[in-house]
Every structure is written in C-alpha cells, then in structure tokens.
C-alpha cells in the first residue's frame, strides 16, 4: 500500500489564511507564508493553497504570494482559485507551484481539463469538487459552494478522470468545518469507481477521523485546515498515531 498523505489546506482571502464552517463564517487563521513554512517543517506531505475569493471576485490568484510560499517550502504545493486558462496555470507553475487545482472553471468548460493535462501532464492537474447531499443525491456546487448545479458527484468525477485529471480533491460541504469526520461512504465509492487518487476534505476533528478516512473511506490523502491552523492536532503526532494503527505514512 502506498503511503497515505497528510495535507494542510490554506484557504486564502485577501492575503490571509481563513477558516469557516460549511463554507461560511470565516475567521482569520494567520499568515499563509508563515503557516506554509511551519507545516513543511512539521512533516506535511503536501500543501494546498486555495484563494477562495478568486473565482467569486473574478480575479486571478496572486502569483507573488505563490512565489513567496514556494520559497519557504520543500514539499509539493498545489494552488487553486480563479484558474481558467492554460496561461493562468503557466504563470502559477513558473512561480513555484507543483500542481494546480481547478473547480468552477472545469464545470463551466470541461475541455479545460483536457487542455491542461495535454499541456502540463495529468500529474499537475487536480480537480476540486465541492458537493453536498440534496434529496439523497450528491450534487456539485460552484463558486466556493455558493451555486448549486444538477451535476452528480460520481458522474462528474468519472468524466474528470476520463478528461485527464491526475487527482480529485473532494470536499463534502455537509461535513466541512463540523469536525464530525469525513464523508467516508462517498469517498469509498469514489475510490472504488475511479483509478486516480482521491483526497478527502471536510470534517476532520480528531486523529481517529484521519484513520477512518484511510480505512473506511479508502482515501489516498486527507486534507484539513482548522485542526492544524489552531494547533488542535500536530502533524508529527498524527503521523505517529496513524503508523501505530498500521496505516503507512512518511515519517
């Protein structure tokens, strides 16, 4: 079994790291460059940097912030928010990002996934999917969870894989910020039906939740924000706990 990855997520709004519950009620969580450096030092496997206001405000992710973060870390780094073209990705990768994450723009223009994969390689392309359960179905939402669509999570995930995405970052909006655990039933289905890695996001509250998503959710990686930002869980402690539970991690 491949080593499971622990990924702190830095949601950025107006140059600061923020965290909310169910995608709302945002509060400040610190300077993204400082946090990135700390997580890199503490043993995070990767980082995800999402400018959550970029798509909503129709502005591009700040390339200079990506550059400053990349200067401080020595682990793979994904950046997303407002990315809608090959040119956008080119700038971000040149400024130090290892991967990019696309979400709303992929739904609006699915061909973008094909174009980015062909230009930069599927290993660089993460498609983020935000979804919540409505009427018994997991429906995809856009623009930071603000706009519902009629897209089915599992059908969209399969199309994303077919178009060349290298990974899927699935955030359960129902679980986000609740600290009640990940949406493991949906994650397990995604992991079973797809051949690309699935990153679990939304709901981490304690160390057991990470173990549960790796075992029950069959997730390849687990992403979290507030439990790391507010020092509720230390990454090295988490990895030692996972290893004691027989879950392979990089120490």
Catalytic positions, please?
A: 11, 130
Residues with Cβ within 8 Å of 136's Cβ and at least 6 positions away in sequence, in order, are none
Gap between the Cα atoms of 179 and 120, Å rounded: 35
Gap between the Cα atoms of 161 and 95, Å rounded: 26
Task: Express the helix, strand and coil content of the chain in percent, nearest 5 each.
Answer: 35, 30, 35
């Amino acid at each position: 079994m491949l080593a499971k990855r622990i990924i702190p997520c830095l949601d950025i709004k107006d140059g600061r790291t923020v965290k909310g519950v169910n995608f709302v009620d945002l509060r400040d969580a610190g300077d993204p460059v400082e946090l990135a450096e700390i997580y890199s030092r503490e043993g995070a496997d990767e980082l995800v940097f999402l400018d959550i206001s970029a798509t909503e405000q129709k502005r591009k992710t700040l390339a200079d912030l990506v550059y400053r973060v990349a200067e401080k870390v020595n682990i793979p780094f994904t950046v997303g928010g407002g990315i809608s073209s090959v040119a956008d990705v080119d700038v971000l990768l040149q400024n130090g990002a290892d991967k990019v994450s696309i979400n709303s723009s992929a739904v609006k223009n699915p061909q973008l996934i094909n174009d980015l994969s062909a230009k930069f390689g599927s290993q660089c392309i993460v498609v983020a999917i935000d979804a919540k359960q409505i009427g018994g179905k997991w429906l995809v939402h856009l623009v930071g969870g603000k706009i519902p669509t009629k897209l089915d999570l599992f059908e969209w995930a399969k199309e994303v894989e077919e178009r060349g995405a290298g990974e899927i970052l699935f955030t359960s909006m129902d679980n986000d910020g609740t600290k009640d655990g990940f949406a493991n039933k949906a994650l397990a289905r995604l992991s079973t039906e797809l051949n690309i890695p699935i990153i679990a996001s939304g709901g981490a509250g304690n160390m057991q939740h990470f173990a549960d998503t790796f075992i029950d959710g069959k997730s390849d990686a687990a992403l979290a924000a507030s439990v790391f930002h507010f020092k509720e869980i230390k990454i090295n402690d988490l990895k030692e706990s996972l290893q004691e539970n027989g879950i392979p991690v990089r120490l």
